[in-house]
Each structure stands twice: as structure tokens, then as C-alpha cells.
Structure 1
Amino acid sequence: FAAGAVAAANTVFAAEQTGTTLLSLGPLEIGAGALTDGVAIGLRVCVAATVGVLGFATTDPTDLADALTQQLRTSPRFTIGSLAALRMLPLLGAEWRQITTARRARGMEGGRNPLRRARLFASTMFTLLVGAMRRAGRLAAAMDARGFDSEMPRTHARVQRMRAPDWLLLA
């Protein structure tokens, strides 16, 4: 969906419509060159997303956090916060299903009306965002209470060494 939206936006709003005109509706004009460029940019989004998904799907978040603090010397505060966020991602999917099921039980469905479905999608996203922000606030307070905000140097339970797959991921 994101790649299609990027491709469509780059095709329609291209600085210059080059090539043969494929579509002309009033002020909207789409040329073959702009369409090719828009699709190419959309495919780049797909490739970047695929690499990111494969990279993070095959990497244990705790190992990644340990490696970031030990190898790249990132701030433990940032790294532990990122680890907590990665650990919360599956909860977002479960919460999305719970919200949509609850709304369906109340008779709030989009049906075949695309405008109604878009409004329902936007309100579900907002509900999910509010819940995630509240959960993040509670998690931050709990982490501060447990000393994750202290300025004392942290120790590492597991030492991370750079191996061939790590270098491959960086490359």
C-alpha cells in the first residue's frame, strides 16, 4: 500500500510529465516517463521495506540492543528504549485486532463504502496511537523506577562479538 501510494504520488505530482501522454483529465496529465519514474520509486520503497523486514525478522531484539551498546557505543538509554519499543510491536497487532473486533461487535463496519472504511481506519489508527502512547508513558515510568535512567555505567550480561552475519547486515 505504501509503495503504491508513493508510486501514485510521484507519478501524478512529477515536476515534469515526460514521454507520451497516457492520461489527460483536465489539469491532470500523466506521461509515460513520469509513470515509469513513479513505479521505479515505488519499487525502491518495496525493496527497502523488504530488506528492513528481513533484517529485523531474523535478528533477536535483545542481541541487537546488546550489539548496539557494545559495538557502536550507542546510548544505553536510547538502546533500551528501542528494545522496549521492538518488544511492544506484537502488542500493536493484537490490539488492532481487539479494537476492530470490538467495533465489529458494536456494528461499526466499513462495508463496501470506501469513504466509510477510510474513516473507520483513521479512527482505529488514532485509537491505537492513543493506547500506544499511554502504554509508553507507563513503561517509561516503570523503567525509570527500576533505575534505567541512572547515569551509572551499565554492565553487559552477554558479550557480543562481530561475526560474518553481522558484517553482512551492516553491508
Structure 2
Amino acid sequence: MSVLTPPRTDRGIGRINPVAKLGASLLLAGVLVLTIDWVSAAVALCCELVLFLFAGVSLRTLVWRTLPVWLAAPTVAVTTLLYGQESGAVYWSFGLIHVTEGSAALALASLLRVLAIGLPAVVLFITVDPTDLADGLAQVVRLPARFVLGGLAGLRLVGLFIDDWHALELARRARGVADGHAIRRVGSQAFALLVLSIRRGSKLATAMEARGFGSDAPRSWARESPFGAREWGLIALGALVAALAVTVAVLTGSWNFVLG
């Protein structure tokens, strides 16, 4: 199963307009980035983990798609722990590395913030098809059709780029030029992919222009992008989780406004 292919489902979040998913994830992320404390992130993460049970996504798909977030969060935490702001008691020190009470608290907050922001963003977009997202951005958000269709065409080419990379690798190996230095081989193959991508992009742009995609005339859309009670409910749910996280952080005295 490719990470670029959304699993089709008519359950849970699969029925919700992608614009609502985008709005809910941006709302939650916008609130969590305003503070650096572990309480607000922990509250939001706990609420999200409970809501994931009703997302209508299988556990295998959920784990596979969110794996990069689970791997990135500890990396951020360890880096912050070793090189974060020094304050409070010093637990361990070696050269430029200083593990202090302040850096430990900041590392915990960073770990939870990455999970609280990254996990819902990934889960909400697991079932999003690029065409559905483009329809929503054009019909609901009213973004310019030329911008939306150009972005959709570019996103559709990502899968082709991956196939081109594998094809180039096999072709170079068949010609006996893929056994050299690894860094040099990757650089040469990346340049070949860049040239191929520019050519394909130019052909695609010409084809789309010839079919009238660059016209300023009002466009019609093959599929309607509905935005109703389910979508507003998801946005309200995201706002509720964000408000609860902020309230608990303020009441416990851990709120730490980043601009303060």
C-alpha cells in the first residue's frame, strides 16, 4: 500500500469534506504552537487518542501512516534535551551538551507538541483524495481555479516521480553505470530525474493550457463538494479540544505563551 494512496472508506472521517479536515487541523495546530508547555499538549493528545477510536480507520493503517510522526517526536525531544535552553538544576554536562531541569521540561513539551500537532493532521488526511481536496478548495474556500488545478496536477505527478526514480535506477543498473560511488550515483540519478521532471511538467502545462485550464472564465465542476453539519461538527470538535487544552494549561499555571 502506497503512502500516497488514500484508503477508501465511507465510515468516520472518510465522509467529511477535506476542507473541514484542513480547518480543524490548522485550528488545533495554531493554538498549540502559541505555548510551550507539556500540559496543554498532553491534554490535547489524550483527547485526540480517544477520538481516533471513532475515526473509522483500521489500526494497521493508523500505525503505518503515523509512523513518521512517532519516529520524529523522540528525535526532537532528545535534541532539545541535550541542546535546549539551560535553566534550573544541571543533571549532566559534557562539552556543548547540558542536560538541565529546564531542557528536560522543554524536551517533554516538544515531544508532546509534535505528537499533538502531527498525529491529528495525519489521521484527518488519511482518507483525503487530492481531487476531493481540490474540489473543496475551489468550491468551498473559493480559491482561484487556476491555482487549485495547477496544484492538483503537480500533486498527481508525485507518484510518477517515484516510478521514474525506480525506472532510472533499473536502466542505469542494466547499462552497468550504477555500481560506482553511492553519493555520485544518487546525485547523477537525481539530476536525470530533474531533467525528466522539467520535460514532463512543460508538456503537462502545454496540454492543460490547450484544454482551457488557464482561462479566466468561470469554471464548472464535475463533482459537488458539500459542506454541511458533519463538517461544522468536526471544526467545532477541533475548537473544543484546543479550548480544553488551553483552559487546563491556564488553570494549572503551566501556560507559557511563546511571544510573552
Match of 2:156 in 1: 87
- Offset at residue 69 of structure 1 (A): 1.1
Matched, 1:149 2:214: yes
Correspondences of 1:102-117 after superposition (within 5 Å): 106-107=178-179
* Alpha-carbon spacing, 1:92–1:42, altered in 2? closer, same or farther (3 Å): farther
Correspondences of 1:3-42 after superposition (within 5 Å): 3-14=73-84, 16-42=85-111
Q: Deviations over 1:9-39 (max 9, x none)?
A: 433443x313443431223212243133234
**Could you state the TM-score of these two structures normalised by the residue count of structure 2?**
0.49
Q: Deviations over 1:94-120 (max 9, x none)?
A: 44555666678823586xxxxxxxx58
Q: Deviations over 1:55-87 (max 9, x none)?
A: 222122222211211111111112112222332
The CA RMSD measured in Å over matched residues stands at 3.6
Matched, 1:162 2:234: no
- Partner Cα separation in structure 2 for residue 109 and residue 145 of structure 1: 44
* Alpha-carbon spacing, 1:156–1:99, altered in 2? closer, same or farther (3 Å): same
What stretches of structure 1 of length at least 5 have no aligned partner? 111-118
- Partner Cα separation in structure 1 for residue 106 and residue 186 of structure 2: 29
Match of 2:17 in 1: none
- Partner Cα separation in structure 2 for residue 99 and residue 13 of structure 1: 41
Correspondences of 1:117-128 after superposition (within 5 Å): 123=187, 126-127=190-191
What stretches of structure 2 of length at least 5 have no aligned partner? 1-70, 239-260
* Alpha-carbon spacing, 1:101–1:155, altered in 2? closer, same or farther (3 Å): same
* Alpha-carbon spacing, 1:61–1:38, altered in 2? closer, same or farther (3 Å): same
* Alpha-carbon spacing, 1:35–1:150, altered in 2? closer, same or farther (3 Å): same
Matched position secondary structure for 1:29: strand
Equivalenced residue count is: 162
- Partner Cα separation in structure 1 for residue 132 and residue 117 of structure 2: 22
Correspondences of 1:65-104 after superposition (within 5 Å): 65-98=134-167
